[in-house]
C-alpha cells in the first residue's frame, strides 16, 4: 500500500506536466536533460517549415536570396560540419560529440540523436535516443539559414513587414552581439577530462573599446551593402553573409573567386608598422624595430580556438635570397592538455594593443633587405598530422608583409 502511494506521488508531477501541455509528451520534445546543462550545450529548438516554403533547406532559400546564399556557401558557417579537423576530432572522441554538434549543427532537426541522461554524470557517456525529426541533408548544411532565421514557424529578419512569399517576423536581436555569442562565448572546464570549452570572444569584445562604441560583431563580420534581398526587390541595407574572420579557407569552398573578393574586402586583424629605410650604424650594426598592432579586431588577436596563432617573422635577406638573421614571435595561447588542461601562457594582443619586435644584425657586404611577415595559423603541422588532416586543409595564410632597405 505504502509502495503504491509512493508510486502515485512520483508519477503525479509527470502526469500534471503532460496535462498542462495539453497532450501526452511527444517523441519530438527535447529531453528534459538539456535544461540542466549550460546554454551552449543545448541545441536550438526544432523548427517547422514556415508557411510559404517547402523545406528548411538553404538551397531553397537560395533560389530567391541568390547573393546571400552564394556568400553563405563560402563561409565557415556552411562548412562547420564538413570541416576535416572537426570530423577528425569527433571520430577520436565520439563520447563527447553530442556536445560539439549543438554549435556546429545547431537545430534539433539537424541532430541524429538526442541525449536523455549521462551515465554516471560523465559527459563522455551520454545515453541517447533516436531523434524522429532528424534531417540528414539539413545536418550537412551545418550553420544554415534556418539555424539563425527560422523560429516558431516564421522567417525572422531585421526588418519585419517585408513583402515575402513566406511568413516573416521582425527580430531586432539579429543585429546584436548577443545573437552571435550564443555560440562564440562559451567557457567551461570539465574536471577529469582532457578538453575545455574556451571561446571567450564575447568577454574580450566587452572589455575592449568596440562594445562601448556600439560596434557589434556584425559591423565587421557582416559588413553592410546596399542591395536588394531578391532580384527586382527594393534596395535595402543588407549584411553580407561571408563571415570572413581569420582569412583562412576551410577547403570545401565552391567559388574561390567570390571567397577571394569577400576576404579582400576585410582587413586582417594585425598591422605591421616600421620605417622602410634603416640606418646602418658604426661597424655595420643594424637594428630594425617592427610594431605589431591589433589594429582591426574587436577582440583579442587571435580569438576563439586556443590553437590559433598569429606568427610574426622579421628576417634579413641576402642577395641570393639566403636568411642572414631572423626573429620570430608567436602571438597565441599555450596550453598543456595532459594530464589536465592548463593554460600556460597567453601572448595575444588585445584590441589596439601593440608589441615591438627588434631584429639586430651586422650588415653584410653587398645588397640585402629586411622583410617582416604576419601569418595567421589555425593549427600547427604537428597537430594537423596527429589528426591526419589532408594537405587540402589550409593550415596558415600570410596576412601582412612589409619590407625595408638600408638608408642610402
Ligand atoms: C550556431 C552557432 C553559431 C552562431 C549563432 C554564430 N556562429 Fe560564427 N561560428 C560558429 C562555428 C561553429 C564556427 C567555426 C566553424 C568551423 O571552423 O568549422 C564559427 C566561425 C565564425 C567565424 C570565423 C571565421 C574564420 O575565418 O575563422 C566568424 C568571424 C564568425 N563565426 C562570426 C559570427 C558572427 C558575426 C555571428 C553572429 C551574426 C556568428 N558567427 C554566429 C558558430 C556560430
Ligand atoms: C520564393 C522566394 C523566396 C524564398 C524561397 C525565400 N525567401 Fe526570404 N524573402 C523573399 C522576398 C521576396 C522577401 C522580401 C524582400 C524585400 O521586401 O526586400 C524575403 C524576405 C526575407 C527576409 C527579411 C524578412 C524581414 O522582414 O526582415 C529574410 C530574413 C528572409 N527572407 C530569409 C529567408 C530564408 C532564411 C529562406 C529559407 C528558409 C527564405 N527567405 C526563402 C523571397 C524568398
Ligand atoms: C550565423 C547566422 C546566420 C546565418 C547562417 C544566415 N544568416 Fe541571414 N542574417 C543573419 C544576421 C545576423 C542578419 C542581420 C544582418 C544585418 O542586417 O546587419 C541577417 C540578415 C539576413 C537577411 C536580411 C538582409 C540583411 O542583411 O539585413 C536575409 C534576407 C537573410 N539574412 C537571409 C539569409 C539566408 C538566405 C541564409 C542562408 C543562405 C542566411 N541568411 C544565413 C544571420 C544569419
Ligand atoms: C572592429 C571589428 C571587429 C569586431 C567588432 C569583431 N571582430 Fe571578429 N575579427 C575582426 C578581425 C579584423 C579579425 C581578424 C582577421 C584576420 O586577422 O584575418 C577577426 C577575427 C575573428 C574570428 C576568427 C578568429 C581569429 O582570431 O582570426 C572570429 C571567430 C571572430 N572574429 C568573431 C567575432 C565575434 C563573435 C565578434 C562579436 C563579439 C567579433 N568578432 C567582433 C574584426 C572584428
Ligand atoms: C559553444 C559552441 C561550440 C561548441 C560546443 C563547440 N564548438 Fe567548435 N567552434 C565553435 C566556434 C565559435 C568556432 C570558431 C572559433 C574560432 O576558431 O575562433 C569553432 C571552431 C571549431 C573548429 C575549427 C578550428 C579552426 O581553427 O578552424 C574545430 C575543429 C572545432 N570547433 C571542433 C569542436 C569540437 C571537437 C567540439 C566538441 C568537443 C566543439 N568544436 C564544440 C563553437 C563551438
pLDDT digits (tens, 9 = 90+) for 231-255: 999 999 999 999 999 999 999 999 9
The string of pLDDT tens digits covering residues 340-389 is 999 999 999 999 999 999 999 999 988 999 999 999 999 999 999 999 99
218 lines ligand 1 (CB under 6 A): yes
199 lines ligand 5 (CB under 6 A): yes
CA 182 to chain centre: 11
Could you give the CA distance from residue 52 to residue 376 in angstroms, rounded to a whole number? 44
The string of pLDDT tens digits covering residues 93-148 is 999 999 999 999 999 999 999 999 999 999 999 999 999 999 999 999 999 999 99
Angle at 390 between CA 323 and CA 302, to 5 degrees: 60
* Residue 29 pLDDT level (bands cut at 50, 70, 90): confident
Residue 175, exposed/middle/buried by CB under 10 A (0-12, 13-18, 19+)? middle
99 lines ligand 5 (CB under 6 A): yes
Cβ atoms 54, 118 nearer than 8 A: no
Read off the C-alpha cell for 278: 634603416
Cα(144) to ligand 4 centroid in Å equals 20
Cβ atoms 245, 76 nearer than 8 A: yes
Read off the C-alpha cell for 91: 571520430
Torsion from C-alpha of 233, 239, 240, 242, nearest 10 degrees: -140
The string of pLDDT tens digits covering residues 299-331 is 999 999 999 999 999 999 999 999 999 999 999
Read off the C-alpha cell for 227: 542591395
Could you give the CA distance from residue 262 to residue 68 in angstroms, rounded to a whole number? 12
* Residue 6 pLDDT level (bands cut at 50, 70, 90): very low
Cα(12) to ligand 1 centroid in Å equals 43
Q: Which residues contact 174 (CB under 8 A, 6 or more apart)?
A: 148, 156, 157, 158
64 lines ligand 2 (CB under 6 A): yes
Cα(219) to ligand 1 centroid in Å equals 14
Q: Of the candidates 221, 44, 236, which has an alpha carbon nearest to the alpha carbon of residue 143? A: 44
Could you give the CA distance from residue 184 to residue 204 in angstroms, rounded to a whole number? 11
How many angstroms separate the Cα of 273 from the Cα of each of 13, 88, 372?
66, 39, 9
- Ligand 2, atom 23, lies closest to the CA of 157
Could you give the CA distance from residue 186 to residue 86 in angstroms, rounded to a whole number? 17
Measured distance between the N- and C-terminal CA atoms of the chain, rounded to whole angstroms? 103
Cβ atoms 226, 238 nearer than 8 A: yes
Amino acid at each position: 500500500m505504502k509502495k503504491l502511494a509512493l508510486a502515485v506521488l512520483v508519477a503525479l508531477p509527470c502526469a500534471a506536466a503532460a496535462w498542462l501541455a495539453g497532450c501526452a509528451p511527444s517523441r519530438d520534445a527535447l529531453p528534459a536533460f538539456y535544461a540542466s546543462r549550460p546554454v551552449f550545450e543545448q541545441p536550438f529548438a526544432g523548427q517547422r517549415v514556415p508557411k510559404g516554403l517547402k523545406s528548411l533547406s538553404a538551397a531553397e532559400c537560395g533560389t530567391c536570396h541568390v547573393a546571400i546564399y552564394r556568400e553563405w556557401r563560402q563561409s565557415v558557417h556552411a562548412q562547420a560540419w564538413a570541416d576535416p579537423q572537426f570530423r577528425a576530432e569527433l571520430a577520436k572522441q565520439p563520447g563527447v560529440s553530442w556536445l560539439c554538434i549543438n554549435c556546429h549543427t545547431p537545430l534539433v532537426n539537424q541532430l541524429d540523436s538526442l541525449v536523455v541522461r549521462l551515465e554516471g554524470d560523465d559527459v563522455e557517456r551520454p545515453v541517447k535516443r533516436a531523434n524522429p525529426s532528424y534531417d540528414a541533408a539539413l545536418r550537412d548544411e551545418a550553420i544554415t539559414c534556418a539555424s539563425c532565421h527560422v523560429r516558431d514557424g516564421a522567417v525572422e529578419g531585421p526588418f519585419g513587414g517585408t513583402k515575402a512569399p513566406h511568413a516573416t517576423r521582425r527580430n531586432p536581436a539579429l543585429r546584436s552581439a548577443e545573437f552571435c555569442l550564443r555560440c562564440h562565448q562559451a567557457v567551461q572546464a570539465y574536471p577529469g577530462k582532457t578538453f575545455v570549452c574556451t571561446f571567450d570572444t564575447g568577454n574580450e569584445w566587452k572589455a575592449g573599446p568596440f562594445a562601448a562604441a556600439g560596434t557589434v560583431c556584425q559591423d565587421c563580420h557582416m559588413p553592410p551593402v546596399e542591395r536588394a534581398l531578391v532580384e527586382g526587390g527594393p534596395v535595402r541595407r543588407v549584411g553580407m553573409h561571408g563571415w570572413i574572420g581569420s582569412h583562412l579557407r576551410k577547403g570545401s569552398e565552391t567559388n574561390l573567386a567570390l571567397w577571394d573578393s569577400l576576404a579582400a574586402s576585410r582587413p586582417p586583424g594585425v598591422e605591421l608598422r616600421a620605417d622602410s629605410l634603416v640606418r646602418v650604424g658604426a661597424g655595420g650594426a643594424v637594428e630594425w624595430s617592427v610594431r605589431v598592432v591589433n589594429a582591426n579586431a574587436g577582440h583579442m588577436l587571435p580569438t576563439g580556438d586556443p590553437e590559433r596563432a598569429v606568427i610574426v617573422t622579421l628576417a634579413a635577406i641576402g642577395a641570393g635570397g639566403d636568411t642572414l638573421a631572423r626573429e620570430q614571435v608567436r602571438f597565441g595561447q599555450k596550453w598543456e592538455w595532459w594530464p589536465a588542461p592548463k593554460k600556460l601562457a597567453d601572448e595575444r594582443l588585445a584590441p589596439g594593443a601593440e608589441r615591438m619586435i627588434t631584429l639586430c644584425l651586422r650588415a653584410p657586404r653587398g645588397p640585402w633587405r629586411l622583410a617582416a611577415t604576419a601569418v595567421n595559423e589555425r593549427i600547427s603541422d604537428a597537430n594537423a598530422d596527429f589528426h591526419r588532416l589532408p594537405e587540402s586543409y589550409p593550415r596558415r595564410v600570410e596576412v601582412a608583409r612589409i619590407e625595408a632597405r638600408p638608408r642610402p
